[in-house]
Structure 1
Amino acid sequence: MDTPQDTEVLIVGAGPAGLMLANLLGMYGRKVTVLEARDELIDYPRGVGLDDESFRTIQTVGLVEAVSPHTTPQHIMRLVNGAGKTILINNPKTDEFGWDRKHGFIQPEVDKALHAGLARFENVRVLFGHEVVDVEETADAVTAIARVAGPDGTSEELRFTGRYLVGCEGGKSPTRKRLGVSFEGESPSTRWLVVDVNNDPLGTPNVFLGADPKRPYVSIGLPHAVRRWEFMLRDDESDELATDPAWVNAMLKEHVPNPENLDFIRRRVFTHHARVAGSFRKGRQLIAGDAAHLMPVWMGQGWNSGMRDATNLAWKLASVLSGQAGDALLDTFTDERTEHARSMVDLSLTLGKVIKITNPVLAAGRDTAASVLNLFPSVKSYFADMKFKPMPRYTKGVLADPNTQASGTALGKLTSKLIPVATANTKVSPVGVQFPQPRVNSKDAKNERLDDVIGNWWTVLVWGNNPKDVLPQASLDRLAALGARLVAVVPETQRAWAEQYMGPNVLVLGDHTGRLKKWFDDRPTPMVFLRPDRFVAGACLNQHGPATLDAILAAMSFTGKPGDRARSIVPDDASSLLG
C-alpha cells in the first residue's frame, strides 16, 4: 500500500451533500479530500426541487451566479384529481430567507457548479475513480483505503488519512454500514416509472401532481426545457415492461400528442424509501445526505436535506479542527438534524398517501373534502404558502434556553414573567430556528442581503444599541476569540448617527425595509446570537446577554482559543470589528 496522504476531512462521495460540505469547509480554510468511486459526476436528472434554505447555503459559498441559470424560481405545484380539477395549489410567495421558497432545478448542472466551485480552494481536492473499500480508525485519525483502477486492468490501493471522515455516498452507504447504526423506516412497495425528456413538448413551467385513481402521475416542467413524468406502477407491471419504449409511449399518450417524437433522456423504475439513521456519528466517522436519511420524493426534500446536513456540519468541523471547540461539538450534528429529517420523511409519506389513492370512493371523498376546505381562506393559505412544511427547530444542541439560560437545550416558548415578555406579540421562541434574511444597508453596502453584509461566521445582532455598551468586557473578549462579528441594527433614519456614535468597531446596519424592526418588535429578544449556519443559538434581553453567551459557548464545547485559521473563517475585517 502507498504512503498515507494526510488531510483534515475525508469526504466519501461526490454527490450534492459531499460537494457542498467540501465547499463550506474549503471556505473555512480546512484541508479536504473527496473520494468518489465513479469516474465522473452523475449526469442524469434526479432531484427536481431546490428550496430557499438550500439557496441560502449556495449564497454562503458564493455560487449563486453559477447555480441560478439552472433553476426556475417560484415553482408552483398543483394537486389535481382524475378529472383535472385543481384540489389545492402550493404557491408560497414568502422570501423570508432571502430567496423564493421553491425552485425547479436541473440537478446534474447544479452539482457540476458545486464541483467547479471547489477549484477556488487550494486546500480541497476531488479524486474520481477512488472506491473506498475499508476504513481504519484510531484515537487520533481515520484512514480510508481506496481502490484505484489502473489503465491495464489492474488496481492498486491507496491510503488517505484525515482527522474525520464523512460518508456522503448515498442510501447504500458503506460508511453507515461500517458504523453499524440503525436505518429505521420503510420502503413502500409501490414502484414508479420516471421519464425525463428534452425539448419539453408541453412547455408549462410548473408541477402537477395527478391524484388520478386510475393511475396517479406527476408532470413537472423543469429548466432547460426538460419535462419529467412519473407514473405509479401496478404490481403486475414488471420493470422490463415499464421501461419498454412502446409501453412508455402508451403511458404518455394522454399527456402529449405524439409520444413517439419525444427526445428521451431516460426511462427508469424506482421505489420510494423513507428511512433515517439512528445516529449520524460514531467516533471519527459521520454520515450526511442520503447516507443518513432517505426521503420519499413528494416534498422534493432529498437534495435539500443533504444541503441542511452540510450546512449544519461544516462549521462544527471547522470549529473543532481550528481548536476553537472540543470534539463533543460533533455530537450535536445528530441531536439537531435527526428530528427534522424524520419530520420531513413523515410529511412526504403523508402527501404520497393522499396522491396514491386508487380506490374511486376514497378518491371522491378526498376531492370533496379538499373542495370544502378550500372555502376557508386560512386553510387555503396553509397549503398555498407551504405552512405545512416543518421548518427546522432545534431543541437540543448548540443553544441557550431563552427563559433560564440553560446550556444545550431550548424550549420553543417564552415563559418569563417579566413585563417585556408578557406584553410581546409572540411567545414563540426564536432560539433554535433560522433567522430571516431581509435586505439591509450599511456604510459600504446598499440594499444587500443580510448574510452578504455580516459574513459567514458567528454574529451578535443587537437592535438599537451598541453591542459594546451592553456587553461586559469579559463577554467581548470571548466573542473576539470566537471570531464573532458585532452588529447593531437601527432604522435607516438613524444609521448615519449610529455609525458615527458607535465607531468603526461595530457594523451598523440600516433597516430600510422595516422587516428587521418588525421581527424585533414582535419578540422580546433584542440581542441575538447567530451561528454560522444562520440558526439562532441564543436570543435574550440585553441584561441576559452574558449568561446566554456563556451557555452557548458551553454547549459548543468552546475552548477559548481563537482557532489556528481564524482569518479564514471570519470576514476579512472581523478582527478589527472586535477591537
Structure 2
Amino acid sequence: MTTDHPRIDAGTAPAIDTDSEVLIVGAGPAGLMLANLLGMYGRRVTVLEAMDRLIDYPRGVGLDDESFRTIQTVGLVDAIRPHTTPQHIMRLVNGAGKVILVNNPQTDEFGWHRKHGFIQPEADKALYEGLARFDHVRVLFGHRVEDVRETADGVTATALVARPGGGVEERLFRAQYLVGCEGGKSPTRKRLGVTFEGESPSTRWLVVDVNNDPLGTPNVFLGADPKRPYVSIGLPHAVRRWEFMLHDDETEEQVTDPEYVNALLRDHVPDPTKLDFIRRRVFTHHARVAGNFRTGRQLIAGDAAHLMPVWMGQGWNSGMRDATNLGWKLAAVLSGQAGDALLDTFTSERKEHAQAMVDLSLTFGNFIKITHPVLAAGRDAAASLLNLFPSVKSYFSDMKFKPMPRYTRGVLADPNSQASGRATARLTSKLIPVLSANTKVSPVGVQFPQPRVNSRHGENVLLDDVVGNWWSVVVWGNNPKDVLPAESLEKLAGLGARLVCILPETQRGWAEQNMGDDVLVLGDHTGRMKKWFDDRPTPMVFLRPDRFVAGACLTQNGPATLDAILRSMAFTGRGAAPGRVAVPHDARSLLG
C-alpha cells in the first residue's frame, strides 16, 4: 500500500496506470471494506481518495451484528473489537428524565451482539491498515477524481494530484469497474445522472463530542424533551457525545459559540467549562436513496447510494451491507465465473432495504423530536401504557421493529416453484412436511444464522470461520454427495461450493469416518442448528458468500434449486472460484 504522488512532467501525456481490476473512489468505510473483501478474494484494487488522510474525528457511533459478521469475514475482529462497547443499550427518556422505552436486544443469531457503540475513526483506521495484508491492493491519498470515461471493456479515471512544488498534475487509472464511495455528495452519482430522491428535514442539530467522559454511563439516552430534544451517548475510550435539536431562530455561529454550548450542557454536567471538547458542529439529517446503484461499469455504495438519518445508527452499517453484497459479486464476475449481469442484482437486493431503513429512521426521529407539549404528553402516556404489555415491550426492547434484509429479487431460487431470480417470503407447498412445520416463513433471501459448532478443525468455533468465505451447501443430517446427483455435484465443484453436513454432536465422529474428506462435518453441540432445521422443512440450504440463503428446499428439489440459483447469478461454468483465500484472524475464541 502506498500514498506517494508520482510526478508527470509538464507537456507530456499522462501514462495510464492499468494495475487494477477495480477502482474505488473514496477511502470511507464502505470503500475500505469493499477493498478488504476484494483483496481477500485476490482481486487487484486501487482506492483513490481526494483527502490526504483518513478523517480522524468521531462520526458514526453504532455498529451492528451484521457489520461485525462482515468484519469477521475479512479477519479484522481483533483490530476493531477493542474500539467497541457491546450490547449498547438505548433508553428513551421524557422531559422529566423518566425512562419510557428501553432498547436492549439480547439476540446473537448472527454470532455477535446486536448493537455496539464504537469509535468510527479507529474502526476505519483498522479497515485501512488491514489492506496492508494484500500486495494487490493500494490506497492513494491526495487523488481527486475529476472525470471518468467508460468504454465497452472498462473505465478510465482522471485524478488530479498536487505537485510537491505547487500546482497539480493528472494521473490516469484504467480498470474494469469503478465504485464510487465518496459520500452523500458523490461526484460518481452525479456524473451518472442517477436520481437521489428523498428529503432533508429542516431540523438542525448541534453535535458535541468530548474526551474524558464526565458522566461515565456506557449507554445511550434519547431525550424526548419537548423543550429541546437531545441525545447523550457513552462511547468507547471515554468519549461522550451530545446532540441538541436547534430552534429555527438559532444560527450556526450562535450555537457553536463556546458559551452557548456550555449553556446547553449545564443540565447535563456540573461544570461544562472543564470539558475536553473534540468538536462542535451543526448538521442536518438527510434521508435519500439513489434511483439505481449501477450504470454500466460504474457503481455507487455507502452514502453515495443512500443517506440515513442518524436515529437508528445505520449509516455506517448500511455501507457495510453494500460492500458485503457487492464484494463477492465483483469477484465472481472478474474471475469469469459469472456474467456481468450479476452486478444488476446489487440494486435489486440492496435498494429496497436501504429505503426501509431510511423510512424507519425518519419515523423514529419524528417520534423523538415532538416539541408540542400536549402531543409530547400523549406520546409519553402511550409509551407507558404499551410497556404494560410484554409482547409490545419486547418488540422495542429486542429491536424487532428493525427490518432485517430480505431479498425477493436477485441471486435466489423461489422455495415453492424453484423459479430463478426471485423468492416469495412464505412456503406454500401442500406436502405434509411443509404443512406441519413450525414456521411457513421462508429462509430464502435472509441471512443464515451463525451458531458455534464443532469440527475436526476445532471446537466451539463460529460457523463462518469453518465454512469459509465462498459458497456452501449445508445439509442437515445427510451426506450431500448421497442426496445430490453427479451432475449437480459437478456444478457445485465449478462454483467452488463447499459441501457441509450439520448433525448432532453425538453423530459427528461416525459421520467424519463415513462421509469422506470432501464433506465438512459439523457437530451441533448447542442444539441451535437442530432447532433451526426442526422449525423449517428445508433440510438443504445453498449459502451465498455474503451469508444470505440463495435457496432452501427438500433434498429432492436440490438439483432444480441449484440450477435456478446458477441462472440467477449468470453462472458461466468458467473461471476459478475466487473464494477460500486465507485471511489471518482469530475470531474463534470470541463471544464464548
TM-score clears 0.5: yes
Question: 1:179 matched to which residue of 2?
Answer: 192
Q: Does 1:227 align with 2:240?
A: yes
In 2, distance between residues paired with 1:415 and 1:5?
A: 54
In 1, distance between residues paired with 2:575 and 2:159?
A: 35
Alignment of 1:494-509 (within 5 A): 494-509=507-522
In 2, distance between residues paired with 1:559 and 1:4?
A: 31
In 1, distance between residues paired with 2:110 and 2:31?
A: 23
In 1, distance between residues paired with 2:581 and 2:271?
A: 56
In 2, distance between residues paired with 1:393 and 1:549?
A: 19
- Deviation by residue 1:516-547 (Cα, 9 ceiling, x = unmatched): 00000000000000000000000000000000
Question: 1:449 matched to which residue of 2?
Answer: 462
Kept in 2, the 8 Å contact 1:399–1:551? The answer is yes
- Deviation by residue 1:292-326 (Cα, 9 ceiling, x = unmatched): 00000000000000000000000000000000000
In 2, distance between residues paired with 1:24 and 1:75?
A: 27
In 1, distance between residues paired with 2:16 and 2:480?
A: 48
1:562 Cα deviation from its structure 2 partner: 3.7
Superposed CA RMSD in Å reads 0.8
In 1, distance between residues paired with 2:526 and 2:514?
A: 22
Q: Of residues 540, 552, 565 in structure 2, which corresponds to 1:552? A: 565
Question: 1:296 matched to which residue of 2?
Answer: 309
In 1, distance between residues paired with 2:575 and 2:518?
A: 18
Question: 1:429 matched to which residue of 2?
Answer: 442
Question: 2:106 matched to which residue of 1?
Answer: 93
Q: Does 1:3 align with 2:11?
A: no
In 2, distance between residues paired with 1:507 and 1:141?
A: 39
Residue identity opposite 1:25 in structure 2: L
Kept in 2, the 8 Å contact 1:482–1:562? The answer is no
In 2, distance between residues paired with 1:234 and 1:244?
A: 15
Kept in 2, the 8 Å contact 1:48–1:107? The answer is yes
SS at match of 1:341: helix
Q: Does 1:65 align with 2:60?
A: no
Residue identity opposite 1:18 in structure 2: G
Kept in 1, the 8 Å contact 2:40–2:581? The answer is no
Question: 2:152 matched to which residue of 1?
Answer: 139
- Deviation by residue 1:59-116 (Cα, 9 ceiling, x = unmatched): 0000000000100000000000000011100000100100000000000000000000
Question: 2:356 matched to which residue of 1?
Answer: 343
Residue identity opposite 2:411 in structure 1: V
In 1, distance between residues paired with 2:519 and 2:17?
A: 43
Question: 1:320 matched to which residue of 2?
Answer: 333
TM-score by length of 1: 0.98
Kept in 1, the 8 Å contact 2:148–2:156? The answer is yes
Question: 1:576 matched to which residue of 2?
Answer: none
1:4 Cα deviation from its structure 2 partner: 1.0
Kept in 1, the 8 Å contact 2:511–2:521? The answer is yes
Question: 1:109 matched to which residue of 2?
Answer: 122
- Deviation by residue 1:154-191 (Cα, 9 ceiling, x = unmatched): 11000000000000000000000011011000000000
In 1, distance between residues paired with 2:523 and 2:48?
A: 45
Kept in 1, the 8 Å contact 2:102–2:396? The answer is yes
Question: 2:167 matched to which residue of 1?
Answer: 154
Residue identity opposite 1:31 in structure 2: R
SS at match of 1:251: helix
Number of aligned positions between the proteins: 570
Q: Of residues 468, 472, 487 in structure 1, which corresponds to 2:485? A: 472
Residue identity opposite 2:393 in structure 1: K
% of aligned pairs identical?
A: 81
1:275 Cα deviation from its structure 2 partner: 0.2
Kept in 2, the 8 Å contact 1:484–1:570? The answer is no
- Deviation by residue 1:115-152 (Cα, 9 ceiling, x = unmatched): 00000000100000000000000000101100000112
Question: 1:194 matched to which residue of 2?
Answer: 207
Alignment of 1:128-527 (within 5 A): 128-527=141-540
Kept in 2, the 8 Å contact 1:457–1:571? The answer is no
In 1, distance between residues paired with 2:555 and 2:207?
A: 55
The structure 1 segments of at least 4 consecutive aligned residues displaced by more than 3 Å after TM superposition are none
Residue identity opposite 1:336 in structure 2: E
Question: 2:4 matched to which residue of 1?
Answer: none
Residue identity opposite 1:151 in structure 2: P
In 2, distance between residues paired with 1:94 and 1:522?
A: 18
1:212 Cα deviation from its structure 2 partner: 0.1
Residue identity opposite 1:453 in structure 2: V
1:30 Cα deviation from its structure 2 partner: 0.2
In 2, distance between residues paired with 1:337 and 1:288?
A: 10
1:208 Cα deviation from its structure 2 partner: 0.2
In 1, distance between residues paired with 2:581 and 2:70?
A: 16
1:570 Cα deviation from its structure 2 partner: 2.2
Question: 2:64 matched to which residue of 1?
Answer: 51
In 2, distance between residues paired with 1:289 and 1:417?
A: 42
Kept in 1, the 8 Å contact 2:454–2:505? The answer is yes
In 1, distance between residues paired with 2:134 and 2:165?
A: 33
In 2, distance between residues paired with 1:570 and 1:156?
A: 40
Structure 2, unaligned stretches of length 5 or more?
1-12, 583-592
Residue identity opposite 1:263 in structure 2: D
Residue identity opposite 2:17 in structure 1: Q
SS at match of 2:459: coil
In 1, distance between residues paired with 2:307 and 2:167?
A: 35
1:569 Cα deviation from its structure 2 partner: 1.6
Q: Does 1:570 align with 2:580?
A: yes
Q: Does 1:80 align with 2:90?
A: no
Kept in 1, the 8 Å contact 2:204–2:246? The answer is yes
In 1, distance between residues paired with 2:80 and 2:64?
A: 13
1:571 Cα deviation from its structure 2 partner: 5.6
Question: 2:542 matched to which residue of 1?
Answer: 529
SS at match of 2:54: coil
In 1, distance between residues paired with 2:138 and 2:377?
A: 55
